[in-house]
Amino acid sequence: MKASKAKTAGISVVAVALILALALFVLFFTGQNNPPLFGGPVSVVDALGRTVEINLPVNRVIITGKSAFPVTSVAYMFPEAASVLYGLDQRTASVPLFRLVDPNIEAKTVSDDIGAGSDSPNVEELAKLKPDVVLFKTSVKLQVAESLEALGIKAVYVDLENLDSYRRDVKLMGRIFGNEAKANSILSYYEEKYGYVLAKTSSLPQSQRPRTLLLFYSTKGGTISFNAPGAGWLQTSMIDAAGGYPLSKELGGTGWNTVSFEQIAAWNPEIIFLVTYSQNPTPSQVRDNILSDPMWRNLAAVKEGRVYAVPDDAHLIAIGSWDAPNSRWILGQLWMAKKIQPGLFADLDLVKEVKQFYMEIYGLSAAQADEILQQITGDL
């Protein structure tokens, strides 16, 4: 009798402790970190380490300034974006994917006077549009954000240059749009696909990595120039992750470096990826020219026919190429892996993957995803 009483007491102590622990656990994970259910202030830390207090729910969000495109491309993954994004520029509004995600996009465009593409957008023009929050890529000057805050407009910086900054910035955007579940599902998609590629390629020795070169062909400035990405750029790490040896990594730093044909010949790449970010010429036209040019025919990549135009799903208007740090770099990563290591990725069905990406991440219907697939240029 005594023993059983003691036993009951013991059980109830354990039970109370468990309930307390559970309550603490729930409190900890749902506490001040989460946006309040019915709106209110929430504080976020942005890519520059600034703490910004934002009133939820947000009603009007503007994404503008230099390199805004990757930010817009991630924002539209959130279903809330279609109702709160405003003040887009003409070029962004012409992207087929965005037009499907946000059918009213045309009505929300504004003139480029607000500073689309500039590292210092016009604060007064922005204020006229009365946004709650303005999202900038880190390439926009900090003074702009400070001036906006002085006018009571919140400015938040995101970076999105690599997987690490995706992890931080997608979560950040999830909190602003009030949809952290979507942020988590976006991130788990990127982690899964990137992990799938790395698992097959990371142990490849140097001898099994084809010498690969990504070239940005430009005819601007009166002469033809070939430009290769430096060691610190996304394209370089994408080639590396895809199981290739990125030749241009010996070029220091970030950004495009002009390289001569001579340098390309000295590298003698086994695989060449081409981008032009332009409709004239398209990467596919440049590929055809290179394959038929007597000077290029001595290069290994041309001999083996391994010269590929990088896919692009936005009419080649410089913002839809899969090598650039917009949301589709993950598709570019899968595509590169299949081109560089066809044996390892024989089971990878790219068309299926691409369709799944548009449907799962952007919420398109199967018919809409097919519509985008039809418009993709390059050697998918």
Enumerate binding residues for other proteins (CB under 8 A). Answer: 66-67, 117-118, 218-225, 227-228, 230, 248, 250-251, 256-263, 265-266, 277-278, 280, 294-295, 298-299, 318
Give the nearer residue to other proteins in terms of CB position, either 205 or 253: 253
201 or 248: CB nearest other proteins: 248
Q: Which is nearer to other proteins, 326 or 333 (CB)?
A: 326
277/335 with CB nearer other proteins: 277
Nearer to other proteins, 87 or 325 (CB): 325
Rounded to 10°, the helix 163-177/180-201 angle is: 170
**CA-to-CA distance for 69 and 291, rounded, in angstroms?**
32
Phi-psi region of 282 (alpha: psi -120 to 50; beta: other; left: phi over 0): beta
Q: Rounded CA gap, 333 and 238, in Å?
A: 6
Instruction: Provide, rounded to whole angstroms, the least separation between the CB of residue 43 and other proteins.
Output: 32
Closest distance of CB 238 from other proteins, Å: 18
* Pairwise CA distance, residues 179 & 172, whole Å: 10
Question: Tokens 């992890």 identify what position?
Answer: 167
Give Cα 157 distance to the centre of its chain: 15
> Using an 8 Å Cβ cutoff, are 145 and 165 in contact?
no
The total number of residues written for the chain in this structure: 380
Q: Which of 54, 29, 30 is nearest to 40 (CA)?
A: 54
Q: Least Å distance between CB 224 and other proteins?
A: 5
- To other proteins, the closest distance from the beta carbon of 248 in angstroms equals 8
Query: Rounded to 5 degrees, what angle do the CA atoms 84, 90, 95 make?
Result: 80
Q: Which is nearer to other proteins, 43 or 120 (CB)?
A: 120
Rounded to whole angstroms, the Cα distance separating 245 from 239 reads: 7
When the beta carbons of 91 and 167 are compared against other proteins, the nearer one is 91
Nearest distance in Å: CB 298, other proteins: 4
Q: Which is nearer to other proteins, 205 or 294 (CB)?
A: 294
CB-nearer residue toward other proteins: 185 or 285: 285
Residue 69 near residue 319 (C-beta atoms within 8 A): yes
Q: Within a 13 Å sphere around the CA of 314, how many CA atoms are in the beta-carbon half?
A: 26
DSSP assignment string, 62-86: EE-STT-HHHHHHHTTSTTHHHHEE
Burial (CB < 10 A; 0-12, 13-18, 19+), residue 359, is middle
Q: Write down the least CB distance from residue 258 to other proteins, Å.
A: 4
Residue 94 Cβ vs other proteins, minimum distance, rounded to whole Å: 15
**Shortest Å, Cβ 116 to other proteins:** 11
Min CB(176)–other proteins separation in Å:
26
Whole-angstrom distance, CA of residue 333 vs CA of residue 281: 24
To other proteins, the closest distance from the beta carbon of 71 in angstroms equals: 15
Q: Show the 3-state SS of 238-290.
A: HHHHCCCEEHHHHCCCCCEEEECHHHHHHHCCCEEEEECCCCCCCHHHHHHHH
- Beta bridge partner(s), residue 211: 245
Place of tokens 């997608």: 170
Amino acid found at 217: Y
Question: Quick one: 89 or 102, whose CB is closer to other proteins?
Answer: 89
Cβ-based burial of 77 (10 A; exposed 0-12, middle 13-18, buried ≥19) = buried
